[in-house]
Structure 1
Amino acid sequence: MSSHYTELAETAGVFIHEIKNHLSTLGLNLQLLAEDFENPQSARERRALDRIVRLQNECSSLVEVSNDFLRFTHVKDLALRPYDLRKVLEEMVDFFEPTARAANVHVNVFLPADMPPVHLDPDLMKQALLNLLLNAQQAMLKGGELSLIAGVEAGFLVLHVIDTGPGISPEMIENLFKPFFSTKPGGSGLGLPTARKVLEAHGGSLQVQSQIGRGTCFTLRLPIRPPVIPQAGPAEVEPVIHEVPLP
């Protein structure tokens, strides 16, 4: 079954690459056509330009869906090495901050004073984290708080991604990690499945808890590879200013 899935994914990947090539050609021609109508002189020319812009947007959406699918199928191609997850988190939060600010979302980050290194693929982990951050931001339509809280539990490095959005119903949670399932208009439905696939490829896991009206918590677990220095107690974490209580 696994080999059949791999073969199917590789075939689909080749097909998607071909589609992207055609979309790139189409997008280039639409750009040239838009330049011809850069200064519309009549109502007809303005309507033509509007149609061209809509087609450009559709092409961009299709390219993004294609990229999401390719990322989903290529998760198995890991390049593992000892890495500091703190660095990944800091880079992604810095990259994500302008998007969060524009959406009136305040980001809180609470990390242990000494985070142990883990074996991971930095690029794939960044993609998984970005998917989770964007998912949380998009859930908070009126803004809110997004907290990233890390710690060490039973040989795992654990990261909680907590938002103050409207929460997710139990029925919705059942479908949350199914490929192509999305409640967002224009969403590919591959962001969360890709994130879980990345974590599982690292020997970890991605789980979710949610309460309607209170928020949602995604929990990432990554195994700490040996050598592991035993700790006398729980890792020291900076005081939590804001936390969403979840069951």
Structure 2
Amino acid sequence: MPDSMSSPHSAASTDVLVPFPDVVRFVRQLSHDLRNHLNAAELQAAYIKEIADNAEIKEELQRLRATVSELGNALQKLTGSLAPVKLTVMPYEASAFAADLQQKVGQQFADQAATFDWAVQPMTGKMEIDPQLLQQAMLELLDNALHHCRGDGKISITAETANEQFVLTVREPKAQAVSANENWGREPFKQVKHGHYGLGLQKARNTIEAHEGTLSAQHDAGASALISTVSIPLSHG
């Protein structure tokens, strides 16, 4: 008697394969439409608050507006993660970029500042970069290190110039093996959870590559560590 359950092969044959650019267009359009509805809801709540007499109702409407605004911001952040990288480049000393990054890490991750062990080497040379976008990409890598499969021990960060490149190496202890390979940062939506859509690492990679740089990651099984390396070419101007 034939098995009523579908085989893995037959199930896979029903999968819908959609090119990623089409997925991006769909998500951006859906986000745009939803934000329009949320804006309308927020305006309606503001109007009702103005004509309401009850203080408790006014307070609840204020909470409703805050919630709607938060949803709109989340959608805007999502579409921003999918937007093409557009750089505004300028000459920037490699040493200054490393110092700025170290300072920003201390501010953004103030509660975990002791987690990072910095080794900033003497540097020479400049880069042609968009300092804000490149810094955001580096911060995404460190945020990823803090919150994904983190093991015991400090996160080591080395910044240096070598072979005509600015090189940032992040060595992070991992509680479990990480399948780091050539697809590292090329697999959006792989880890999706509440408020997190698996797009940060891809955005970081896209930003780094827009600077003609490279991002590589290798899992050191013996040390139970993930080693990520960012290389950005120095300019010759």
Shorter-normalised TM range: 0.5 to 0.7
Query: 1:214-229 alignment to 2 at 5 Å?
Result: 214-227=224-237
Stretches of structure 1 lacking an aligned partner (at least 5 in a row): 228-247
After TM superposition, the structure 1 = structure 2 runs for residues 178-189 of structure 1, keeping only pairs within 5 Å, are 178-182=187-191, 184-189=193-198
For 1:23, the equivalent position in structure 2 comes to 38
Residue in 2 aligned with 1:230?
none
Equivalent residue, structure 2, for 1:138: 147
Q: Post-superposition shift, 1:30? A: 6.7
Q: What amino acid sits opposite 2:212 in the alignment?
A: G
Aligned equivalent of 2:163, options 154, 167, 176: 154
Closer, same or farther: CA 147–209 of 1 in aligned 2, 3 Å: same
Q: 1:88 to 1:24 in 2, by over 3 A?
A: farther
Tell whether the 8 Å contact from 1:165 to 1:215 is kept in structure 2 after alignment.
Answer: yes
Higher relative contact order (CA 8 A, sep 6+): 1
Tell me, in whole angstroms, the C-alpha distance in 1 between the residues paired with 2:84 and 2:182: 25
Letter in 1 for 2:38: L
Q: Unmatched 5+ residue regions in structure 2? A: 1-18
CA contact (8 A) 2:27 2:79 kept: no
User: Is the Cα–Cα contact under 8 Å of residues 106 and 113 in structure 2 kept in the other structure?
Assistant: no
Change (3 A) 1:129 1:54: farther
Q: Secondary structure at the match of 2:141?
A: helix
Aligned to 1:177, the other structure's residue is in SS state coil
Match for residue 87 of structure 2? Answer: 78
For 1:118 and 1:87, how far apart are their aligned partners in 2?
A: 10
Distance in 1, Cα, partners of 2:98 & 2:74: 24
Pair 123,16 (structure 1): closer, same or farther in 2 beyond 3 Å: farther
Separation in structure 2 between the aligned mates of residue 185 and residue 12 of structure 1, nearest angstrom: 17
**Following TM superposition, by how much is the alpha carbon of 1:28 offset from its aligned partner in structure 2, in angstroms?**
6.8
CA distance in 1, matches of 2:44, 2:181: 41
Residue in 2 that maps onto 1:235: none
TM-score between the two structures when normalised by the length of structure 2: 0.68
Matched, 1:197 2:197: no
Q: How far does residue 198 in structure 1 lie from its aligned partner after superposition?
A: 0.6
**Count of residue pairs brought into register by the alignment:** 215
- Residues 225 and 173 of structure 1: is their aligned pair in 2 closer, same or farther, counting only changes over 3 Å? closer
Q: Which residue of 2 aligns with 1:206?
A: 215
Report the RMSD for the aligned CA atoms in angstroms. Answer: 4.2
**Contact 1:30–1:56 (8 Å) recurs in 2:** no
For residues 72 and 122 of structure 1, do their structure 2 counterparts lie closer, same or farther at Cα, with a shift above 3 Å needed?
A: farther
Within 2, Cα distance between the matches of 1:6 and 1:173?
A: 20
1:113 counterpart residue number? 122
